């Protein structure tokens, strides 16, 4: 929300919804996503790797992500090694263009991408925003880093099982977390 003061517009970030850092593999792309029906499956071409990858997802999960983002209640940002090719996923899943939380050329894979993802989480919190971070393998383990991110209830971290991805109860938790912010305003 913008507040006008004199000739300049100031951003009051405390009135904006949380940032959702969204990974793909093991979070959306999962072998057995469930959600009450068989997964959809497609090949997605990677311009970066110059190969096609098979992705499987639950359409109901994509619908809920889309609705939450389009409602303006949460700012969904890709936080995945798919960032360079995310436009292909947006097209496949009929998602609006989403911000990319990480970038690198070349994009590091696996654990080498972790520092970029952590920096994106810290950046979202530094914006004065609450944080939702969904990642099957990059969330900090219990300890100092995790405590730093989750202090005062400012962050919700969800690590789904990589073969199942986010489940309906995970989206319920995200919606509840987002709703807490809405009720506080």
In a domain, 172, yes or no: yes
Range of the domain at 31: 15-184
pLDDT at residue 15 is higher than 60: no
Query: Which of 34-38, 45-49, 116-120 holds the top average pLDDT?
Result: 116-120
pLDDT at 18 (0 to 100)? 96
**What total of structural domains would you count in the chain?**
1
pLDDT at residue 144 is higher than 50: yes
In a domain, 3, yes or no: no
In a domain, 64, yes or no: yes
How many H-runs (helices) and E-runs (strands) does the chain carry? Answer: 5, 9
Q: Are the C-beta atoms of residues 90 and 97 closer than 8 Å to each other?
A: yes
pLDDT at residue 81 is higher than 60: yes
Q: For residue 47, give every residue at least 6 positions away whose Cβ sits within 8 Å of its Cβ, in sequence order, or none.
A: 84, 85, 88
pLDDT in tens, 84-99: 999 999 999 999 999 9
Percent helix, percent strand, percent coil in the chain, to nearest 5: 40, 25, 40
In a domain, 8, yes or no: no
pLDDT at residue 43 is higher than 60: yes
In a domain, 118, yes or no: yes
pTM (predicted TM-score): 0.89
Query: How, if at all, do strands 155-158 and 75-78 pair?
Result: unpaired
Q: Are the C-beta atoms of residues 98 and 69 closer than 8 Å to each other?
A: yes
In a domain, 9, yes or no: no
Smallest Cα–Cα separation from 1: which of 72, 12, 9? 12
Write phi, then psi, for 18 (nearest 5 degrees).
Answer: -65, 160
């Amino acid at each position: 929300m913008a507040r006008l003061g004199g000739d300049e517009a100031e951003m009051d970030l405390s009135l904006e919804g949380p940032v959702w850092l969204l990974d793909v593999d093991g979070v959306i792309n999962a072998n057995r996503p469930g959600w009450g029906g068989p997964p959809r499956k497609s090949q997605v071409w990677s311009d970066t790797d110059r190969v096609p990858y098979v992705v499987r997802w639950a359409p109901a999960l994509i619908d809920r992500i889309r609705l939450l983002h389009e409602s303006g209640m949460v700012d969904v940002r890709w936080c995945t090694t798919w960032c360079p090719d995310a436009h292909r996923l947006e097209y496949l899943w009929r998602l609006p263009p989403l911000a990319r939380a990480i970038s690198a050329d070349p994009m590091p894979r696996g654990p080498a991408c972790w520092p970029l993802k952590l920096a994106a989480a810290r950046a979202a919190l530094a914006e004065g925003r609450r944080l939702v971070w969904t990642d099957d393998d990059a969330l900090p383990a219990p300890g100092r880093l995790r405590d730093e991110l989750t202090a005062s209830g400012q962050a919700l971290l969800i690590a789904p099982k990589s073969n199942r991805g986010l489940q309906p109860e995970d989206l319920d938790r995200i919606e509840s977390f987002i709703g807490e912010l809405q009720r506080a305003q």
